[in-house]
Amino acid sequence: MTFDQNSSCLRCGKKSLLTDEVTGEQFCSKCGYVISEKVNDSGPERKSFSTQGGMDNSRTGSPTSLTRHDKGLSTVISPANKDSTGRPLSSAMKTTITRLRTWDSRSQSKTSEDRNLRVALNELDRLKDKLALSSNVLEKAAYIYRKALEKKLVRGRSISGIIAASLYVACRDAGIPRTLNDVSEAANVKRKEISRCYRLLHQELELKMPVVDSVQCIARISSKLKIPEKSKRYAAKIIKETQKRKESAGKDPMGLAAAALYLSCIKNGTSITQRDIAEAAGVTEVTIRNRYKALKDAKILDSDL
For 242-265, write each residue's pLDDT tens digit: 888 887 777 888 888 899 999 889
Of 204, 224, 254, the one marking the end of a domain is 204
Average pLDDT over residues 30-54: 59
Burial class (CB in 10 A: 0-12, 13-18, 19+), 225: middle
Does any domain span residue 76?
A: no
Does any domain span residue 53?
A: no
Per-residue pLDDT tens over the stretch 10-28: 777 777 777 776 666 777 8
Domain count, the chain: 3
Per-residue pLDDT tens over the stretch 169-209: 999 888 887 888 889 999 999 999 999 999 999 999 988 88
Of 204, 237, 268, the one marking the end of a domain is 204
Does residue 212 surpass a pLDDT of 70?
yes
Domain that holds residue 11: 1-43
Please, are residues 286 and 274 in contact by the beta-carbon 8 Å criterion?
A: no
Residue with the bigger pLDDT between 114 and 69: it is 114
Per-residue pLDDT tens over the stretch 118-169: 889 999 999 988 888 888 899 999 999 999 999 999 988 999 999 999 999 9
Note the pLDDT of residue 204.
Answer: 92
Note the pLDDT of residue 303.
Answer: 57
Sign of CA dihedral 223, 228, 233, 238: negative
Of 204, 229, 250, the one marking the end of a domain is 204
Q: Is the pTM for the entire model greater than 0.95?
A: no
| Cα R_g (the chain), whole angstroms | 30
Q: What is the mean pLDDT of the chain?
A: 81
- CA distance linking residue 267 with residue 270, whole number of Å: 8
Does any domain span residue 92?
A: no
Note the pLDDT of residue 163.
Answer: 94
